[in-house]
Every structure is written in C-alpha cells, then in structure tokens.
Structure 1
Amino acid sequence: MIHPLRVHFPLALLPTAIAADAVGAMTDNRALMDMGKTFMPLAVASMAATGVAGFAAQEEVRAEGEAHDMLVTHRNLNVGLLLMSAGPAVLRSGQERPGRGYLLAGLAGAALMTYTGYLGGKMIYRHGVGAVEGHDPDHSVRIERGHLGEAARIAATDVARGVAHAAQQVAHGELAPHLRRGRAPPRLYPRSPKPGDERQALLSA
C-alpha cells in the first residue's frame, strides 16, 4: 500500500507551515512567513495525494467492528480537513502576512490531523488493519517490474470503489462512527458493504 508512505508529508508540512507563519508574524520575520506561505499549498496537495491513496488502501484491508468505525472516522475527518484547509491555503497565497483567523484555523487543522493520525496508528497496532491478519492479499496492488500497468489499473479501480463505498457509508449515516461508539443507539440501517466485496465478486465471476 502506498498510503502509509504518503501520510508523513501532510503530517510534517501542515504544522510546519502554521508554525513558520505564527513565529514569522510574531517576530516580523519575512523569511518565515514566506516559508509558511509556500508550505501551506504543499501541505494541501500532499493531503489530497494521501487521501487518494487512502481510498485505494481501504479496499485492500479487512476492517470490521471497531476497526471499521475507526477507518470510516479516520477517512471522513481527513476529507473534512482537506476541504477545510483548501480555502485558507488559497487565501494565504494572496496575503503577505497570515491573519489571526488563518492561524487559529491552522492550529485546529493540525490538532485534527494529529487525532486522525492517532486513529490510523491505532487501526494498525491495535487491530492489525493493513498488517498480516488485517491485509487482504486478494485486493493488493503489486508494484513490481512487469506489473506496473496492472498496478495502475487496480489502483484506479480501488480508488473509484473506495469513493463509492465512502459515499454509501455517508448516505447510511456513517460520518464519524468511532466518536459515537459506545454511546450511540443500535443501528437502524444495515452496515454498508465491506470494502472490496464488489471487487471480490467480480474476480470470482
């Protein structure tokens, strides 16, 4: 999976951009503010690239019960974070100095990213999602010589299916189920299809 390789970029770029802008604004350091202004679009671009890989990754793993709720929450909060960050990044590109609202929004975004990163790690180390027992070899992309074309095709298919499954889950009310776990009433709707079910049916046909 490519997703784990990409997550480090937004995790590093977003806090660095906000920190550089904040310190630069407090000390009137133009170089730091220019750094923050440059890093913020890079952070948003890396979020988008990581998110695309994440949609594919969810089709390649097994996640049930609490792990499923964590995966859905992790994904949806990160999509929200991307949308929340895109607008300020565009505004910041046209400003010489960061505004107070921009910095506060950036701090909130960094805090949210820390939480979603925590969920991602917990899925792996507590539930084994993406590890040997939580990995579905039948739905994995082989990035090897001679298989790159096939890998690209499978990855594109997985991204499309991942987006479709995400839309189904949101339509069923699964926005951040891990935040409601243990407090929410019993589900009044069937759980949305497990990621990869449709693809497995096609492969078996």
Structure 2
Amino acid sequence: MYPSRAKVAGHPVHPMLIVFPIGLYITSFIFDLIYLSTGASFWYRMGFWTILFGFVGNIAAAIPGFLDYLTLPPNTEARQTATYHMGIGIALAILYFANLLFRNWGFIGENQTPWGPVILNLVGVLLIGIQGWLGGELVYRYGVGVQETRLAREERLRKTA
C-alpha cells in the first residue's frame, strides 16, 4: 500500500478533485453532439466554457496526483502504471488546451462545422476512459492512495507474530 501524501482530513485530494475535469470534459463532448444535431451555437459556446473550467480543474487535480506519484518507489509495477497514467494526463491537458485555442472563445462563424474541436473532444473522452482505468488499477491493484485498515493491520501483525 502507498498512502497518499496529499490529504485533507485523512482523505486523498487527487480523487476528490479529478471528478470535476472528468465530468466537465465529458459534458463538453455531449454539448458538441447537441450542437452538431441542432446547429445552435449556444451549445458550442457551452462546450468551450466547460473545457475551460475542466482544464483549470485538471491542473488543480494534477498537483496532488504528482505529489502522490513522487512517493511511489522506482522500478515497481505501481510506478510504471502511474507513469502511464500521468503521461496520458499530460497528453489530455495538452489536447484540451489545444481544443480551447481552436474554439475561439466559443464563437463560430456562419455555416461552419468545427470538426477539429469535436474530434479532439472525442479523442479526449476515449483517453479519459483509458486514464481512468489506469487510475483504478493504481488504487485497487496497487493500493495507491489507500490507507491500511485496522483489520488489515491486525491481520498483518498476527502473521508476523
């Protein structure tokens, strides 16, 4: 087990914060789909704003995640998985920052279909799924950010006694 070093009241911060960018990024993709089906530019603008707030949340969640990464011992499966998880996270931050730049503050010209930002959003949502799976591996398989329970501690002490 590798308990989190970035905690508030004993709870790891990274999982508390990461739900915001995940939810906002996926919502922006849904807004893009609504825009494509209705043509109402409101949804395209809302996609821009959800990505912007998601990006801010992404940076905020990455900081405690990186602090936890630094506590993992080198040359372990947990560290290797965390490296992949972090690499995808960096790629996502770059992808969504590029998406913001392409969106021109949410304004779109007449009769334009913004395929570039929509495709970036689709790729981003797919990468979020992969990164989330790796994050789950870190927690459930390797115990990253997990504190040893009283029962597990008693069992461990009983085996060593």
Q: State the 1:119 CA deviation.
A: 0.5
With the length of structure 2 as denominator, give the TM-score of the two structures.
0.74
With the length of structure 1 as denominator, give the TM-score of the two structures.
0.59
Do the aligned partners of residues 93 and 50 (structure 1) sit closer, same or farther apart at CA in structure 2, a change above 3 Å counting? farther
Alignment of 1:33 with 2:44, yes or no, is yes
Shifted more, 24-33 versus 108-117: the winner is: 24-33
Q: Which runs of 5+ in 2 are unaligned?
A: 1-11, 149-161
Aligned length: 133
Measured against aligned partners, the alpha-carbon deviations of 1:52-78 in whole angstroms (never above 9, x if no partner) come to 221112234567622121111101111
Q: Which amino acid aligns with 1:29?
A: A
Measured against aligned partners, the alpha-carbon deviations of 1:145-172 in whole angstroms (never above 9, x if no partner) come to xxxxxxxxxxxxxxxxxxxxxxxxxxxx
Q: State the 1:41 CA deviation.
A: 0.8
Measured against aligned partners, the alpha-carbon deviations of 1:70-112 in whole angstroms (never above 9, x if no partner) come to 1111011111211121122122143424611110111101110
Alignment of 1:119 with 2:130, yes or no, is no
Alignment of 1:58 with 2:73, yes or no, is no
Q: Which has the higher helix share?
A: 2
* Cα root mean square deviation, aligned: 1.9
Q: Which has the higher contact order (CA 8 A, sep 6+)?
A: 2
Q: Which amino acid aligns with 2:119?
A: L
Q: Which amino acid aligns with 1:84?
A: L
Q: State the 1:128 CA deviation.
A: 1.2
Match of 2:124 in 1: 109
Q: Which runs of 5+ in 1 are unaligned?
A: 134-205
